[in-house]
Amino acid sequence: MSIDGPAERRKQPPQTQTPRTGNGNCGISSMSLANRLRLNPNKEHKPDSYDDLHQLEFSPLLFSSLERYLPPTMLNGSRDLKLQYMRDILLRYSSESERTRVRKWQFSALSLSLSLVQRHREYRQKIISHYQPVHKELYTMQAAQFFVPSFLKAINENTEDSFRSIMAEPAPGIYTFEMLQPYFCELLLSEVETFERWVIETNFRIMRPNTMNRYGCVLDDFGLETMLDKLMEDFIRPMSRVFFPEVGGSTLDSHHGFVVEYGTDKDSELGFHVDDSEVTLNVCLGKQFSGGELFFRGIRCDKHVNSETQSEEIFDYSHVPGHAVLHRGRNRHGARATTSGCRVNLLLWCRSSVFRELKKYQKDSSNWCGECQREKKERQRQSIAATKLELLKRDGKPTS
């Protein structure tokens, strides 16, 4: 788990000019030190890509993300003009030494990332070229066969009211609803069991879903990536746009899909943790089991992940086959011991690259972190109390 330190305001470095190759003719000839971004993004604007500019001090994705926050007069300007405007703003908040350090870190991280991606691609391709699926209908999205009618109806209507009509919200920010048909659960369980037998028979080394689960498998690794992408884009993202906009719910663009298995002869329980996701979908597939309840203990940023739990944040949930739980990935949770039988769950960790990039430059997480919200309220309370005390002193009234 990485912890992003607070961004500090620094003195502006000497101005440098960015070469222009476009025809920047939107009526602004030079950038002012008073450059400002909009408070709210223009969600309809389609930003330019900056991926081809390899010598930038900052991530190209950051510029694409910031572009929606540009003033209206800037949105239709040339890419070079918008780049200079955003770059001038970013340069005010970073020193040359920091930019140099970041560039070196980015190069090192990119090299390592490319190496890991290549190795994983080869691993996945080896599986797909040898493993023969037994339920090929699973590998394409067949919504009418996969989902219960009430869930499909809510998604097709695509409104907050339609989503809430099928959901319960037993605790703030935790949504439960019926989602999967028994037919889909049975097919996926059968496919996973077949894949695991194939792994054993071929002595193939399997990558587990994460460092906490010793049983289960990554569904993307044996061909289900396209179907799960469709699940995220067409079914989870519309709901997340409504219920989790502050953590990138409307910009979910990648996923990690996997199945976990619990039982007396497998993993029994799961420790207290947060997910590597912005939004998590957790659906019970079956089978027969007892125990295994999820317990939630509040949403936290990296800074406050180990802070105390407030009474109103405590919530326990008992799994029901076919039923889903949808929550922020940063909602701290765990799973109690499965005391009998076998419990298998489908999980989809949904991520937003835009949110993750912007989060690096945000000092305040009070729009989603429970502890940040409490600290903000406490600061406001102290400020109001101090103001009242000062007013009483001015009026010569008792301050006790």
Q: Give the ranges where the chain is alpha helix by DSSP (H).
A: 60-66, 79-91, 96-130, 143-146, 149-157, 160-166, 182-201, 225-231, 237-243, 353-359, 370-395
Residue recorded with tokens 């991520």: 351
Residue recorded with tokens 């990690």: 256
Rounded CA gap, 78 and 25, in Å? 8
Would you give the end-to-end CA distance of the chain in angstroms? 47
Q: How high is the pLDDT of residue 271?
A: 84
Pairing verdict, β 315-317 and 294-299: antiparallel
Q: What is the 8-class DSSP label of residue 273?
A: E
Q: How high is the pLDDT of residue 214?
A: 83
Q: How high is the pLDDT of residue 26?
A: 36
Rounded CA gap, 171 and 161, in Å? 18
CA distances from 247 to 54, 96, 173, 243 (A): 28, 30, 12, 10
Rounded CA gap, 78 and 100, in Å? 27
- What string of pLDDT tens digits covers the 400 residues of the chain? 333 333 333 333 333 333 333 333 333 333 333 567 777 788 788 888 887 776 676 777 788 888 888 888 888 888 888 888 888 887 776 655 555 555 555 555 555 555 667 777 888 888 888 999 999 999 999 999 999 999 999 999 999 999 999 999 999 999 999 999 999 999 999 999 999 999 999 988 888 887 788 888 999 999 999 999 999 999 999 999 999 999 999 999 999 999 999 998 888 888 889 999 999 999 999 888 999 999 999 999 988 988 999 989 999 999 999 999 999 999 999 999 999 999 999 999 999 999 998 888 877 788 889 899 899 999 999 999 888 888 888 877 676 6
Rounded CA gap, 385 and 382, in Å? 5
Rounded CA gap, 392 and 273, in Å? 47
Neighbours of 368 (CB within 10 A): 19
Domain boundaries, the chain: 140-360
Q: Structure tokens of 269?
A: 């329980």
The number of C-alpha atoms within 13 Å of 195 and in the hemisphere containing its C-beta is 27
Tell me the backbone φ, ψ of residue 345, rounded to 5 degrees.
-125, 145
Q: How high is the pLDDT of residue 190?
A: 96
Homologous superfamily assigned to 140-360? q2cbj1_9rhob like domain (2.60.120.620)
Long-range pairs for 54-63 at CB < 8 Å and ≥24 separation?
56/87, 57/87, 57/90, 57/91, 57/94, 57/99, 57/102, 57/103, 58/87, 58/90, 58/99, 58/102, 59/106, 59/357, 61/353, 61/354, 61/357, 62/90, 62/357, 62/358, 62/360, 62/361, 63/87
